[in-house]
Chains A and B, each alone.
Chain A
Amino acid sequence: MEEIITDEHIQNIINNKILNRITSIEYVVSEKCQNNCKYCYRVKKHNKSSCVYVTADDIDLYTENLLDIFKLDKSFCQTVTAELFGGDALLDYQECKKIIDLLYYKYKYNRIIIPTNGRLINELSILDIKDLLYDEKNNKLKASLSLSVDGEINDGQRPLSKFGKMLQYQEDINYDKLIKLSQDFKMGFHPMFSFDNYDSWFPTFKFFFDKGIKPYLLEVRHPLDRNDIFKCIEQLVMIRKYLLNKFGSYDEIKQYNTINPSIIPRGLGCSALTTLTIMPNGDIPFCHRLIDKPWVMGNVLKKEFKIPNAINLISGYHHANHPMCIKCIVRESCGGLCVGANYEYWGDPWTPIPSICDYIITKSYIMSQIFEDWNKTLKAKDTDIKILREQSENIFNNNKKYYNQCNSLDDYISLLKEKEEQ
């Protein structure tokens, strides 16, 4: 029997449908955290896990095996970013330093990024931080940090966990120190906007912005009371207005993701489809949130990789092809929901959470009526504004608990237009 499909064909499929899309390798190095954040999906998993921190030797083995599975050499690492993820990725200073050095000196990753809750560096000396992140010899940073802190007004939603208390961390964050460090070590900030705490969105943004920081804004897209939708949008309008007053140009506000329409060519607005995540047990799941067995594509310790699953998940998934999204009026300007949140809600990762869809639809319409750039984007995507308005009106009329003085959605929009930023 002639061999029509060869090993080369299969390797081409792996290259074209899996590897060509991967821009990051994410190592989950810890399943413990100093914090017990109210909206954090990982707390439950952390409480069950016994993994405090993986070792640099583990990371070395994971990386060797990963390259082996795909028949790649170390030069692959130079084309991608390495990310360390937790729990808190900086939980174990000594081991983290070894891992950074391993990834930086041995594998020569293009970049190393570490998101952290900032607890460790809040209490470290400058010299220790420098030792961790800086390559003295070549005078450059080995790794950059992205700080997940929500600002003083929100510290209550990010209290210390028992684990954090056990390690003798202090409850208060020294923001002056973090901000100074961020300038010295090129750190970014990504405060989280929780629907449970919508009143703090604008003050949180202002807190960072007024200190010279351009934060990366992230909505925590968990189900919400539809009445709260309009409170949340009010906060976003205030942020936009504040920025427009500062800069006078729409171009300057494009970098703030939550206050802009999400235009993606295909897939998801997050990095799940371009990142290969490696869990402490060696599993390679869809993303660090969707980690149960059906969504695991392989395991680096067992040197297993399920090509069909990986092709489907990495290359095949497009949220806008789900029937609930196909019929959606803002299909072309929505980055999709968090599949991990969908999974917690339905038990199925691919079905969107309806109340968040209503939030996105309403936000799109209201923003398009107040801000010209948003309106242009929707029109460029052939969005039927009439239907979008109809749907938004329905949502408003059924859920205007906080805006009873408004007879219509138009009244509410007028109210927002008139509102001055504080």
Chain B
Amino acid sequence: MSNKYDLTILGFDYKGVASSNESKKINVDGWEITNIPDDSDIKYVEKFIREFISDIVAIEIPTSLVCNLRCNYCYISDPRMKNKDVDEKNVNQILELSSQMFPSLSKDKKIRQRNNKKTKVYFSAWGAEPFTNTKTLNSLYEFGHEYYGKNEYEISLSTNGTILNDNVKKIISNIIDDNAFQSIQISLDGPEYLQNHQRPFLNKKGSFDAVKNFCSFLLDLQREKELKSRLYSFCSTIHLIDDNFSENWRNAAKFFSEPNTWHTALPVLPMRMSGEDLSNKNHINKFIYAQKEIFEVIKERAKQGVTVLDFYSNKIFGNISCRSKNAFPYCSALNTQIAVDIDGNLYPCHGPITSPLYKPFLYFGNLFEKTISYKQLMRNMNYQYGILWGLGKCEKCPLHVYGTGNICWSCPPHNLALTGEPSMDSPLKCVAYAESFKYWIAIAKMAFGEQHLEHIPNNEWFNDIEVNYNEFKNKILVKNPHNNMHFDMNYNGIIDKALQRYEVEEKYHNYGDKKYISSWWDFDNFKNIK
């Protein structure tokens, strides 16, 4: 059963003369490890699996596969995946087995401590919309509360913020009392016309008022429980395909940067482009133009004394809710987190759970059967980390040279959507990003103070942007940006993690002085076609 899904389902009959027999099986800490090629070094396999299992502190669970909205950019293309009942029994089985099979999720705090410095465990309730199924959500809360106790677990969820009833109110209140919510992420795309256009209910009615009501409840709850920070944050998606993309982008920027309202999202604006591939010049132009528009909005706000960063500038230069460093991304999938489907199947993240066509690529085991397919786990590790094979293209890109964070990395499920291959993203996106970079630098300079980004030459990237940064000298976002921004040129982010994954002994690393990047742009002029 461990080979439940493989590429052959999609017609990719990949096995051939170079395939090894996979007759070996081993047992590692209760897991049966299958599909081990016969020429593998078993000691290495055992060590690899043990470290992987030990690092898992977070589980994504689809507690609900029902959604009451039909957003026009939703990546879940199969409507059944938004109309499927999830049983409490499945969720409970996932929770119980996860705590048994992953030592960092053990009920016993001492076992957790042996594996990880931090003992907190994390559960992510993923959907469709988690509040459509309060039974499973309550199971999640009860498990955390009874099994680990207050302060020892955390639940994260992203909601459309349109369902508010007594059950929902009670669950939220309980989780807050256990100090198990960092913040609830609410999907709000922007002003009323935009939210109602992009995120309608099933009956086509707009969802703006419902979200407003949800936020109002959370603000009241914050006051009632005397909490210092707001209980919610926003995630906004602007549909690139829409003819009015740039206008919507600008209007959303104005909406979220309006100070002292329930929808204020300062200092970092939440808008992101929907997940299209920027594969044609029209889309690329729309995106660049939208960055120009948002730059103008932010400049106006800055003149009014309101400091604002957009989503991308923050990811590249800031550190607010951003864990990537030194132009390399951070992703918890297969690193500290995995996703478990309702049938117990294991995946790196929630992506394939709601996009089932990706399952043959991303499946690597089954929790209920306590099996891990070594070959398929290795394949997934490569999708996650091996993507570096294409990183040479970044060598001279300004985002890589001058940025300290990362907006470019595209995850395996997203890559499957873009190119049909799990480790290939779209280099045309690079064109859009590189051309937009000048606006993001200008925004960052306004927010952080020009002096902290003075190593980025103005003449190269600012030739058509006029900003008098002296106007903003005393209005910088943080006093010492160098300490707060992730300037750590010795940190290799995903590279380090990837190397740890494949070979633990550091002495074998051979990537000093950035050798890992080999030129891309310079070696291509074989024939010099103009």
Contact = CB atoms under 8 A, between A and B. Distances in A.
Interface of A: 1-7, 9-10, 13, 15-17, 19-23, 38-41, 43-44, 79, 221-226, 265-267, 274, 292-295, 306-309, 311-313, 315-324, 326-329, 331, 338, 340-348, 350-351, 353-355, 384, 387, 391
B435 to A, nearest CB: 6
B527 A347 contact: no
Residue of A306, A354, A355 with highest tally of chain B CB at under 10 A? A354
Contact of A321 (B285, B389, B503): B389
A229 to B, nearest CB: 11
A411 B152 CA distance: 58
B18 A309 contact: no
A312 B391 CA distance: 10
A331 B510 contact: yes
Contacts of B31: none
A316 B520 contact: yes
Given A20-B524, A41-B17, A351-B379, A318 B420 contact: no
B14 A347 contact: yes
A59 B255 CA distance: 58
B437 to A, nearest CB: 13
A308 B7 contact: no
Contacts of B16: 41, 44, 344
16 contacts: A5-B281, A20-B525, A20-B529, A79-B527, A308-B428, A309-B420, A312-B421, A321-B391, A321-B518, A324-B503, A327-B510, A328-B510, A347-B6, A347-B379, A350-B423, A384-B510
Given A40-B17, A308-B426, A326 B528 contact: no
Nearest to B525: A20
B285 A354 contact: no
Interface of B: 6-7, 10-20, 37-41, 44, 246, 277, 279, 281, 284-286, 288-289, 375-376, 378-379, 382-383, 385-386, 388-393, 418-428, 431-432, 435, 495, 498-499, 501-503, 507-511, 515-520, 523-530
A16 B430 CA distance: 15
B179 to A, nearest CB: 37
A294 B358 CA distance: 12
B510 A19 contact: no
A327 B511 contact: yes
Contacts of A41: 16-18
Contacts of B382: 322, 346, 348, 350-351
Contacts of A10: 281
A322 B388 contact: yes
Given A10-B281, A226-B39, A327 B424 contact: no
A308 B424 contact: yes
B440 to A, nearest CB: 15
B17 A327 contact: no
Contacts of A295: 421
B386 A5 contact: no
B288 A347 contact: no
A347 to B, nearest CB: 5
B246 A20 contact: no
A340 B515 CA distance: 26
Nearest to A320: B518
Contacts of A9: 281, 431
Given A39-B17, A322-B388, 13 more contacts: A9-B281, A10-B281, A22-B526, A267-B523, A309-B424, A312-B424, A316-B390, A316-B393, A316-B424, A317-B390, A331-B515, A345-B19, A355-B39
Nearest to A290: B14
B41 A354 contact: yes
Contacts of B38: 223
Nearest to A355: B39
A327 B502 contact: yes
B530 A15 contact: yes
B375 A326 contact: no
Nearest to B392: A318
B327 to A, nearest CB: 15
A223 B18 contact: yes
Contacts of A317: 389-390
B7 A307 contact: no
Nearest to B290: A1
Contacts of B379: 346-348, 351
B424 A329 contact: no
B502 A323 contact: yes
A-B residue pairs, 10 tightest by C-beta: A323-B498, A341-B18, A308-B426, A344-B18, A355-B39, A316-B390, A344-B16, A294-B421, A222-B18, A312-B424
B499 A5 contact: no
A316 B427 contact: yes
A327 B508 contact: yes
Contacts of B529: 15-16, 19-20
A7 B281 contact: yes
Contacts of B420: 293-294, 309
Contact of A327 (B13, B18, B289, B503): B503
A355 B432 CA distance: 42
Nearest to A394: B41
Contacts of B524: 16-17, 20-21, 315
Nearest to B429: A308
A38 to B, nearest CB: 8
Given A10-B281, A39-B17, A312 B419 contact: yes
B527 A19 contact: yes
Given A1-B285, A10-B281, A347 B375 contact: yes
A359 to B, nearest CB: 10
Nearest to A79: B527
A345 B20 contact: yes
Residue of A79, A338, A348 with highest tally of chain B CB at under 10 A? A348
A59 to B, nearest CB: 22
B388 A323 contact: yes
A294 B416 CA distance: 9
A354 B375 CA distance: 12
Nearest to B530: A15
Contacts of A354: 39-41, 44
B281 A3 contact: yes
A41 to B, nearest CB: 5
Nearest to A267: B523
Nearest to A8: B281
A323 B501 contact: yes
Contacts of A323: 385-386, 388, 495, 498-499, 501-502
A281 B418 CA distance: 24
